[in-house]
Amino acid sequence: MYEFSKWFFDGLGTAIIGLIVGAIGGGVTGFKVAKRKYKFVQKQVAGNDSEQNQQGKADSVAEIGDNSENIKSSFRQSQKAGNNSKQTQIGE
């Protein structure tokens, strides 16, 4: 029984330390990836005989100090209108 408990607790300490180091490293890496992700959504709904205009631009590079970092961004526009309506969308 003594040998089993010694073996169990020796491995448990190593596993706990590995878990803590992995959680900290994964959290830092995940934060760096997530902070550079932007999502833009524009949505419009109108009735009959209406006019809708949407314009937007999503930049893919952000300036930070002397360096620039790539940013993952998505840009989505949607419009819905009734009869005799005029719709314009411009997205870059």
What pLDDT, in 10s, does the model give residues 51-63?
888 887 766 555 5
* Percent of the chain scoring above 70 in pLDDT: 76
> What pLDDT sits at residue 40?
75
Reduced to 3 states, what is the DSSP secondary structure of residue 72?
strand
Q: What is the mean pLDDT of the chain?
A: 77
CA dihedral over 81, 84, 85, 88, signed as positive or negative: positive
Does the reported pTM lie above 0.85? no
Q: Where are the alpha helices (DSSP H) in the chain?
A: 2-34
Q: Which residue has the higher pLDDT, 92 or 26?
A: 26
